[in-house]
Amino acid sequence: MTEKKTPPAGLPAGFSPEAVQSRIRKLRMGKISVQTKPGAEVAVRQTRHEFLFGTAVPDSLAEKARPCMRPADRRRYLETLERNFTFAVHENALKWYDCETRPGKVDYYLADRIWELCHERNIPMRGHCLFWEKEELNLPWVRELGSDELRAAVVRRALSVTGHFKGRIREFDLNNEMINGEFFQRRFGYGIISEMAWMAKAGNPEAVLYVNDYGILYDRGFNLDSYVMQIRNLLANGVPIGGIGVQGHSAALHQPGLSEEHVQDALDRLSVFGLPIKITECLFDVDDEQHQASELRKIFPVFFAHPNVEAILIWGFWAGDHWRPWSALWRKDWSITPQGEAFRDLVYNQWWTQASGKADRSGMFQTEGFFGEYQITSEGKTQKAALRKKDKALKVAFS
């Protein structure tokens, strides 16, 4: 069955750079109205985006990690993290193989400490991941368990993680890369996915569970049809899937055929389920800094312009501790790469609101702004306020 492709309501159909810019303005901006004295100066300064721009955080950030960052790098890392990102995910610290290296010896120190450091900087985190369907990415002690023992371990793991982080982490990748692995499904059948999900919900009923996989946007989207079918089947079988994770590791950018049209088409295909979409692991994996920058400038606007996409997470930003150091936004010496400059320009220049002017004769000043948090100043007074997507407009009055 082929999913019907329906353009998002009220937005331009098809792809063109102009259509993308139109989508961004309609989806990501609202009106700010400031009532003050006639002729008074008004300054509107955005301080935070509502849309989430995130990153993966390595284990080495925690002080007791082995290895851990040098103090000078750690300070620089935290400064860069706070200045550039509003969302985060553990790169490895929450994976089963990091939390329970030996059966029954659960240790959340690394995951807890990274969460604390992000929380101190007002950076929420998502949970990656409860389970990983690829056999080789489960520890030997897990693979060697008998059926009864493995099922019991699955139950303990699901309850433990969501319960431990209740009130701190709201969403989790349920079972990573289910298209590309079959370890748990081979042992127990397809129904194990439902068991995992409901055990996770038992640990925290408010947890939002995501699917997450690769080969959806890039590499010619070889997994897209399978992913659409998988999500449809999970929902039809009552599995409480609450969001769609789309990995963005793009190792084939040099191949002909990658286009903004393909990325938009894939997102449109996934949007038929009405679920939030997050670009969970974005990485422009080519050994050419200028090519990385040009691809980020080309693809990021398509993500940002899509109505179902709520976040983009870059899979690490510093080459000093990075899965693919040549693709980082900051080099090991902390100098910024062209890709990092492109990221900064899009997020904090082109998609960022700074406006000023004088109120009219009725004392009204109006401007468009990107959804997010603001500081608004007039007549020597400053107010903090938020322009929310759900409200579309913000009104501020100075007495």
Catalytic residues: 177, 281
In 3D, which of 27, 34, 26, 81 has the Cα closest to residue 53? 81
- Other CB atoms within a 10 A radius of the CB of residue 109 amount to 14
CA distances to 192, 196, 230, 239, 311 from 243, rounded to whole Å, are 19, 16, 13, 12, 12
User: Looking at this protein, which amino acid is placed at residue 66?
Assistant: R
Q: Residue 304 burial (CB < 10 Å; 0-12/13-18/19+)?
A: buried
- Other CB atoms within a 10 A radius of the CB of residue 338 amount to 17
The tokens describing 255, both together, are 């191949």
With beta carbons less than 8 A apart as the criterion, state whether 316 and 348 touch.
Answer: no
Distance from C-alpha of 67 to C-alpha of 61, rounded to nearest angstrom: 9
CA distances to 56, 94, 229, 230, 358 from 1, rounded to whole Å, are 35, 36, 8, 12, 57
In 3D, which of 236, 284, 232 has the Cα closest to residue 263? 284
Angle of CA points 337, 339, 344, to nearest 5°:
95
User: Which residue stretches of 192-223 are H helix?
Assistant: 192-203
With beta carbons less than 8 A apart as the criterion, state whether 199 and 161 touch.
Answer: no
With beta carbons less than 8 A apart as the criterion, state whether 312 and 263 touch.
Answer: no
Q: Residue 153 burial (CB < 10 Å; 0-12/13-18/19+)?
A: middle
Q: Residue 184 burial (CB < 10 Å; 0-12/13-18/19+)?
A: buried
Radius of gyration (Cα) for the chain, nearest Å? Answer: 22
